[in-house]
Structure 1
Amino acid sequence: MHNCNIKILPLLLFLISVSLPFYGSISAEEPAEQRLEQDVPFLDTYMHRIQFDFGIGYAIGKQNLMTETGPAWLINSAINSGTTGQPAAIPLGEGDENDYFPIRTRLMYSYGDRFDVSYYRNNVVRKFSRNTSPSVLFAFPGNSTYATSLFEGTRLLRYHYDQRLYDFGYYHRWTKDFRAGPIIGYQSVHESLTATYGSYTLRNSSAGTDPSLTTWANAGDVKLNYHLNGLVFGLGLKWDVLDFLRIKYQLYFMERSGTFEAAGPQLVNFRDINDAESVDLAGIYQSGRASDSGMMHRVEAEFRYCRLSATIGMEREDWTRTYSEFYGFQTGPLTNISQKSMNLGLGERSTKSKGYRTEFYVTLGMAFHLGDVNASRPEPSRIDPVTTPTETEKPEEPQEPEVTPDEVGEYLDKLYDTVKDEFNRKGIALEELENSFRALGFKMEKVKDEASGNTKEIVATIDGDLSFDTGSAKLTQKALQLIDQVAQGLVDNPDTVAKVHGHTDSVGAYRSNKILSLRRAEAVKNAMVERKGIAPARIIEVQGFADDRKLVNTMGPEAKNRRVEIRISYQK
C-alpha cells in the first residue's frame, strides 16, 4: 500500500497543476480591468521569443555501474558457488563519487511568456586513469580450496553521458510577477561506459588440484551502452523578482526504459606454484532491458538585459534502475574468476540500484524576437472630439449669455480649490506654490491668460513611473486614487471638459512609445469614465505624443518626461 501511494503522488501533483489554470479562470470574478493579461509581450513589443543558451557545469555523481555491482555479484557468486566451488564474494561498499564538467545547451521558444517549448542537452565525456578511477572492492572468504583474499571487482575507466530533454510548459500568470503551470515532455538518455573487471582467485596449499595457483584478470575494457527514453511530467514556476532577474524552478517525474548491451575482452593471467606464468584472453557479453524511475529538480536565476541573458543554476537528478531482462555469458578460461553475471543475470534482475547527479552550471544566452504587437495597430492619431447634433437637427433654443473671462477664471479656480481641499482632507502632504501645488507623483497647475491674468486651463500631471509599470498601460492603485480626485473635481464642476495626453521619454522605438503613450492616456480616460461616471462626451480629446513634448530636452531616460496630463477647460 505504501509503494502504491508513492507511485500515485506524482500523478496527483500533475493533475493538480493542470487543473489550476482552469480553476483560476472560472473562479476569477474581479472586474475585467483588474484581471491579469496572460500573454505579455517581451520587451513590451514582441509576442515570440527564441532563445539559445550555451554553458558549462560542474557535476558530482555516481553511476549505476558502481551501485549495482556489489549486490548483483554477491547474489550471482552465491548462486554459482555450487558449481564452481568458490565462496560468495562479499562487497566492501560502493565505488567512489566522481566529478565531471558537462557542456549544456538549450533552445527555447516562448509565446507571450505563457507557452514554452524547450530543448535541453547535457553532454559529458570523462576519462579516468587506472589509478584514480572509481572501483568496487570485494572480500573473498576462504574454504578448503581457495585462500581468503581481497579483490577489485569493477573499475570505471570512461564515462559518456548524453541527455536530451524536450518539454512543453504552460505557465499561468497568477500574480503580476509569478507564473506556474504543468510541464510534459520526452527524455532520451544515452549512457556509454568503459569498465574493467579485475578480479582474481588464489588456491591454498591444501587444495586437491593446482595448489597455490593464482588466477587474475589485470586488464580488459568492456564497453557498456544504455539507450533509455520515456515521458516526463511535472511542474514549472517563474518568479520575476526584479525587472532584470527571474527565478525559475522545474520539477520532473521521470520514467524511462530501453535496451543495453555490453561486450569486451578480459586478459586473464595464470601463475602456478613454481611461478610459471601464462596468459589467455576471455570475452564478456551482456544484453537486456533496463528501466529508470526518478525525479529531477532544476533551480535557476536568470539575469536578462534586452536580448542577452546569463543564468546560474543547479540541477539534481535521482533515479532507481531495475532490469526486466538480463542475459550474460563469458567465453574463455574464467572458471576461477568471480564472475559479474551468468546466463539470466539473476543478481542484476533481483536487485535495484540508485544513481544520482548534482550539477551547478553557468550559461550565457542570446534571444531573438518576432511578432511586433504594434505592427498591426494603426498609427495613433488624435481622437476626434465628441460632437453634439448640429443646430439644424435641434430646435432653436435661446442663446446662453456669453461667459466673461473673469467668470471662466473663477469657475476653474473653484475646481482647483476643490481638488486641493480634497488632498488636504485626506491628509496628503502638499507643496503649495503661487499657482500650483504638488503631492507625491502629482502636480496641479493653473495656466493663466497673459492678457487678463485669469485662469484659462487647469493641468493635472500624473507621474508615469508611479502610475504604470515599465512598458505597461495598467494603472497602479496609487494612480487610480489620484485620478479619482481629479475626476471628482469635474463631477463637482460640470461646466468643464478635459483632454488626456500621454507622454514618454526618448528611450526605445518612437513608434512603440507613440502607441504606449496613447494606451496610457486611454487608460486614464477609462478610469475617469468607469470609476467616477464622467460622461465620455466630456473627454473631448485623447492623444499620445511619445517624446514630442518633452519637459526636459534629453534623448536619455528622464522621469519628468514620462507622464500623463489631464488638461481641464471651461465649456458650458
Structure 2
Amino acid sequence: MGAGLPSSLLADPLQQDTPFQGRFLHRILFSVGSGYATGKQNVMTESGQAWMINSVLNSANSAQPVVLPAGEGQGSRYFPDRTILGYSYGDRFDVNYRRSTVDQKFDRSGSPAVLFLYPGNATYATSLFEGVRLMRFRHDSRFYEFGYFHRWTDKLRAGPVVAYHTYIEDLLISYGSYTLRSSAAATDPGLLTWAQGGDARLKYDMKGTAFGAGLKWDPLNNFRLTYHLYLINRSGNVSGGGYQLIQDRNQSGIESSRIEGLYQMGSASDKGMMHRVEAEYNYCRWSIAMGLERESWKRSYSSFNFLSNQSRDVSSKGNLIGLGEMSASSEGYRTELYLRVGVSAYFGDVAAPVIKKQEVVEEKAPEPAKKEEVAPESGVTDESSKYLNNVFDSIQKDYNEQGEVLEQTEKSFRALGIEVKKEVNEKGQTVNLQATIDGDISFKTGSAELTPKALEVVDKFGDAMNANPNTVSRVHGHTDTPGSKEGNRRLSQRRAESVRTALIQRKGIAASRILEVKGFADDRKIVQTNASEPRNRRTVIIIEYRK
C-alpha cells in the first residue's frame, strides 16, 4: 500500500473535515441577492425557422407565399432574484437549495421581436411584418444539489456535484401578421388584414438532473473562490393559449375586427451546460459574494401542436402537427452577474468544553517542562552539535538585537510569546533545538489561524532554516484538557499544519525538510491539571541536524 507516494503524504494526510470559524463542524447558510442578466429565449431563435417551415405546409390550403424570417430575434435584459439555503458538514459535504426567479415585463419599445418578410405573388403583395414579440418573461429555476468536496491541499477542495433540477419558463407572446391582397386578386382584391394585438401564453414546465463538479479555493483568510460546472438534462410539457385581434380593411375602406383564439401544446427537452464562478468574503456570521453565471442549452420538441381558428389571410406561426417546431433544435442562453449577501448559523463546536458534574480538579505545583518525545537521530556528533549551537546563537542574536529577549541562559532564552532552548544529551552535545510558541498569543481561541505575532516567530525560524541548509524540522501541536479529546486532537493537528503551511508558503521551506506534523491534544502536558492551563496550549518547532 502507498508504493510510489511521497513519504510526506503518507505521514501527514490532510484533515478532511475543516471546522468553520476554526471550531464548528456544521453550518447553515441563508443568502439572498439580485443580478443583471442578458439572454435569449428559445421562442426568439426557433420562431423564424418554425414559421417558415409551417408556412410551406399551410400554403397548400391558403395559397399564401412562404414567409421568410428577417433575422433572428433579439436578446433581452432582466433582473433575476436568487435565494440559497444550504447546509455544510466540515466544509466537505454540501447540501444546497438554489432558486432563481424572474418576472420581467417589456414595453413595445424594448421587447424582443422577430420580423418576417412576406414575398409577393399573383395574389398577395410583398410586405414586412412583426411575427413574434415577447411581452413578459417569467422564470423559476431550482436546484436541489449535493456535493462532496475532497481536500486536496491546505487551501483547495474539489469534487462531484449532483442535482435535481426544476425549470419553469412562462412567456406572454404577441403574434402578429400583415397581408395585402393585390388589386388583381380573384377573391377580395385589395383586402388588407393585420394582427398586432392580443396575448398568448406559452409555458414550459420541465424537470431533470444536473451532474458536474465543483471547486473551492481559499487564497486568503476569509476569502473564497468557487467554481461549479453542471451538465443539464431536463424535459417536460409545453402548453398555452390566448387570443389575437384580427382586423380587416377592404378595398372600399370599410374596416372590421374579430377575436380569434389559439392553443399550443407539446413536449420539449433541453440539454446544456452551466458555469458559475463566485468570489465570497466571510466575516464572522456574515458573507457577501459576487458571481457570474452562464447557462446555454439546446431545445428540441418530440411533439408540438398549434390550434387556431385564424382565417386564410392571417399568416400563422404553426400548424396542427407542428412539423416546423419538431424539425430542428434551437439554442437559448443566459449570462448573469449577481451580488448576494448571507448569514450563517454554526453548531457542533469541536472545541467546546465537556463539563462533568461535581468534577474535582486537583491542582499540582508546576512541573518542569516535559521534553518533546522526538525519535533520536543516530550519530549525534560534535560537528552536528556545533552546527545546531550556531543556529541557536544566530536566532538568539536576532532577538537580542531587536530588544525582545526577556530572560536567557546558556541553553535557552525567552522572548515575548516564545521560548527557545537546546536539548542536550548526557555528553553535553546539542541534539536539537526546541521553540515553544505560546498558544494564547499564536492562535485565536478555538482557531488554527496564526496571529501576526506567531507569523513573526515562524518567519524567524524559516529564515534560520534557509540560512542553515543542514537543518530539518518537526512541528507538534498541543492543547489543554477542557473540551472533547477528539476535538482537541483535531485542533492541535490543524494548528501544527498551519505552522507547516506558513514555513512552506512564506519562507519557501521544502516540504521534505519538515519531517513530522502532529497534534497531541493534551497527551503531553507541562502542568498536570485537567483545568484550563495556558502553558499546556502551545505549538513546538523542533530543529534537528541532517547532513
TM-score class, shorter-chain normalisation, is: 0.7 to 0.9
User: Which of 221, 242, 245 is matched with 2:223 structurally?
Assistant: 245
Q: Which residue of 2 aligns with 1:202?
A: 180
Q: Which residue of 2 aligns with 1:421?
A: 389
1:61-100 equivalences under 5 Å are 61-100=39-78
Compared CA separation, residues 222 and 26, structure 1 to 2 (3 A): farther
1:110-138 CA distances to partner (integer Å, 9 max, x unpaired)? 01100000000000100111232111001
CA-based RMSD = 4.5
1:472 deviation in Å? 2.8
Deviates more, 1:539-548 or 1:75-84: 539-548
SS state of the match for residue 93, structure 1?
A: coil
SS state of the match for residue 152, structure 2?
A: strand
1:222-371 equivalences under 5 Å are 222-331=200-309, 333-371=310-348
- Distance in 1 (CA, whole Å) between partners of 2:459 and 2:386 is 18
Compared CA separation, residues 500 and 207, structure 1 to 2 (3 A): closer
- Distance in 2 (CA, whole Å) between partners of 1:500 and 1:291 is 56
1:420 deviation in Å? 6.3
Compared CA separation, residues 233 and 501, structure 1 to 2 (3 A): closer
1:430 deviation in Å? 3.4
Code of the aligned partner of 1:430: D
Code of the aligned partner of 1:98: S
1:92-131 equivalences under 5 Å are 92-131=70-109
Compared CA separation, residues 284 and 544, structure 1 to 2 (3 A): farther
Code of the aligned partner of 2:348: G
Do the aligned partners of 1:430 and 1:438 also contact (CA within 8 Å) in 2?
no
User: Which of 149, 156, 162 is matched with 2:134 structurally?
Assistant: 156
Compared CA separation, residues 466 and 358, structure 1 to 2 (3 A): farther
1:28 deviation in Å? 7.9
Code of the aligned partner of 1:128: F
SS state of the match for residue 43, structure 2?
A: helix
1:405-420 equivalences under 5 Å are none
1:101 deviation in Å? 0.8
1:460 deviation in Å? 4.9
Identity in percent = 45
Q: Does 1:374 align with 2:351?
A: yes
Compared CA separation, residues 428 and 549, structure 1 to 2 (3 A): closer
1:356 deviation in Å? 0.6
Compared CA separation, residues 238 and 383, structure 1 to 2 (3 A): farther
Q: State the structure with more CA Rg.
A: 1
Compared CA separation, residues 544 and 269, structure 1 to 2 (3 A): farther
Code of the aligned partner of 1:245: F
TM-score computed with the length of structure 1 as normaliser: 0.71
SS state of the match for residue 175, structure 1?
A: coil
1:511-556 CA distances to partner (integer Å, 9 max, x unpaired)? 69xx8699649988xx9xx969xxxxx9674669998659xxxxxx
Do the aligned partners of 1:429 and 1:439 also contact (CA within 8 Å) in 2?
no
- Distance in 2 (CA, whole Å) between partners of 1:545 and 1:74 is 84
SS state of the match for residue 176, structure 1?
A: coil
- Distance in 1 (CA, whole Å) between partners of 2:308 and 2:295 is 34
Do the aligned partners of 2:364 and 2:529 also contact (CA within 8 Å) in 1?
no
Do the aligned partners of 1:521 and 1:564 also contact (CA within 8 Å) in 2?
no
TM-score computed with the length of structure 2 as normaliser: 0.74
User: Which of 434, 438, 461 is matched with 2:436 structurally?
Assistant: 461
1:518-529 equivalences under 5 Å are 520=492
1:422 deviation in Å? 4.5
1:367 deviation in Å? 0.6
- Distance in 1 (CA, whole Å) between partners of 2:272 and 2:363 is 60
Q: Which residue of 2 aligns with 1:430?
A: 398
Do the aligned partners of 2:351 and 2:488 also contact (CA within 8 Å) in 1?
no
Do the aligned partners of 1:216 and 1:337 also contact (CA within 8 Å) in 2?
yes
Compared CA separation, residues 523 and 45, structure 1 to 2 (3 A): closer
Do the aligned partners of 1:430 and 1:439 also contact (CA within 8 Å) in 2?
no
- Distance in 2 (CA, whole Å) between partners of 1:317 and 1:65 is 16
Compared CA separation, residues 519 and 480, structure 1 to 2 (3 A): farther
Do the aligned partners of 2:291 and 2:339 also contact (CA within 8 Å) in 1?
yes
Do the aligned partners of 1:522 and 1:542 also contact (CA within 8 Å) in 2?
no
SS state of the match for residue 99, structure 1?
A: strand
1:562 deviation in Å? 8.4
Q: Which residue of 2 aligns with 1:37?
A: 15
- Distance in 1 (CA, whole Å) between partners of 2:5 and 2:436 is 37
- Distance in 2 (CA, whole Å) between partners of 1:518 and 1:111 is 15
Deviates more, 1:367-376 or 1:228-237: 367-376
Compared CA separation, residues 539 and 120, structure 1 to 2 (3 A): closer
Do the aligned partners of 1:124 and 1:161 also contact (CA within 8 Å) in 2?
yes
SS state of the match for residue 279, structure 2?
A: strand
SS state of the match for residue 342, structure 1?
A: coil
1:22-51 CA distances to partner (integer Å, 9 max, x unpaired)? x99996864665110111111122111110
Code of the aligned partner of 1:374: A
Do the aligned partners of 2:278 and 2:291 also contact (CA within 8 Å) in 1?
yes
Structure 1: where are the runs of 5+ without partners?
1-22, 388-413, 447-457, 486-498, 504-509, 533-537, 551-560, 567-572
Choose between structure 1 and 2: higher helix proportion: 1
Structure 2: where are the runs of 5+ without partners?
368-381, 423-432, 465-475, 501-514, 518-522, 542-547
Q: Which residue of 2 aligns with 1:494?
A: none
- Distance in 2 (CA, whole Å) between partners of 1:480 and 1:549 is 23
Compared CA separation, residues 127 and 314, structure 1 to 2 (3 A): same
Code of the aligned partner of 1:172: H
Do the aligned partners of 1:500 and 1:543 also contact (CA within 8 Å) in 2?
no
- Distance in 1 (CA, whole Å) between partners of 2:103 and 2:495 is 57
1:299 deviation in Å? 0.5
- Distance in 1 (CA, whole Å) between partners of 2:58 and 2:461 is 87
Aligned residue pairs total: 465
- Distance in 1 (CA, whole Å) between partners of 2:66 and 2:225 is 52
User: Which of 424, 448, 451 is matched with 1:472 structurally?
Assistant: 448
SS state of the match for residue 60, structure 2?
A: helix
